Amino acid sequence: MNFTRFASAAAIAACLSAPASLASAQEAWDMALAYSASNYHSQNAQLFADLVEEKTDGALTITTHPSGSLYKGNEIFRAVRTNQIAIGERFMSALGNENPVLEVDAIPFLATSFEDARSLYEASRPTVEAALEDMGVKLLYAVPWPPQGLYSADPINSADDLNGARFRATNQMTTRLAELMGAQPTKIEAAEMSNAFATGVVNSMMTSAATGVDRSMWEYIPVFTDVQAAIPKNVVVVNLEVWNNLSSDVQAAVEEAAAEAERNGWRLATELAESAKSTLSENGMTVAQPSEELSAALPEFGTQLTQEWLERAGENGTAIIDAYRN
């Protein structure tokens, strides 16, 4: 046998004898993330990627790209939906213009504890999954933020204190809440948030203490009022066509990894709920409890926003709220 024929035969034999997991190690995804690598959502996404590689024996690998380095936050969902990228993470309620049921976790003062947020998630997940599939993506897992508070240049003792404020909005709910309080909302993604405050484009917002820590907000704004308005979530989604092209074994392994990442993400959010506020305080921010007047006024806005959402979400929205409350 000449050398060339021997080498070819040896190569074929090596391929045939290789473990199946190695022979199928051909799938590689890039994962777009809007938040910094130090943010717990991004860290949890890296855990998910590591679990996927482990559980699929390398048949699927995922490379994470934090800080909007691959796509900006408002570009990620469309990129996944159109298969420009296989997988990404998005603030779920920011998709409310596509389908209002995706705003459910951002309704102010509907679910303000992690226990209630979990109940709302369980009540809404089947409808959320169906809505996302109609949009061409599959939900893999969802992780909450700590409760949302008010960041402001001056102490907020009543809703009127935000009248005329330049308010950073993240979704339709925070846009409407700003309008109801007389503030002027501007939609700004997380990656542009620090610059927007530094340049005076905005001077107030509603978001979690964890986001404040992530963006070192003490450098730009002095007051955080812990109103605990809502516990919204990020969702990790994969292009549905890409998902359907995976083998059933790989799909099962990815879903197992997603379930672990979801449990870990909820744990991290719960732990950060208090520690992040401490970090804000340690860095010089005033961390205030809401006044009696503010505590009385804000839930009324929540009631109005819930009703407006029910009108937009229709029967699906009513079914979610009924399942949550009963």
Cα–Cα dist 45/198, whole Å: 29
Residue given tokens 């109103």 in the structure block:
227
pLDDT tens per residue, range 41-80 = 999 999 999 999 999 999 999 999 999 999 999 999 999 9
Amino acid type, 274: E
Looking at residue 137, the DSSP 8-state letter turns out to be E
**Strand arrangement, sheet containing 233-239:** 60-65, 27-32, 87-91, 233-239, 137-144
Q: Which residues contact 252 (CB under 8 A, 6 or more apart)?
A: none
Q: Which residues contact 308 (CB under 8 A, 6 or more apart)?
A: 176
Give phi and psi for 254, each to the nearest 5: -65, -40
Residue given tokens 């599939």 in the structure block:
133
pLDDT tens per residue, range 141-200 = 999 999 999 999 999 999 999 999 999 999 999 999 999 999 999 999 888 999 999 999
Residue 296 CB neighbour total at 10 angstroms: 12
Segment 222-229 shows an average pLDDT of 97
- Across 183-192, 305-314, 315-324, least confident range: 183-192
% of residues, the chain, pLDDT over 90:
90
Q: Provide the mean pLDDT of the chain.
A: 92
Going by pLDDT thresholds of 50, 70 and 90, the confidence category of residue 26 is confident
pLDDT tens per residue, range 110-131 = 999 999 999 999 999 999 999 9
Its pTM surpasses 0.85:
yes
Cα–Cα dist 16/319, whole Å: 54
Nearest to 298 by CA among 159, 132, 144, 152: 159
Cα–Cα dist 112/230, whole Å: 5
**Domains of the chain, first to last:** 24-325 (3.40.190.170)
Cα–Cα dist 37/201, whole Å: 25
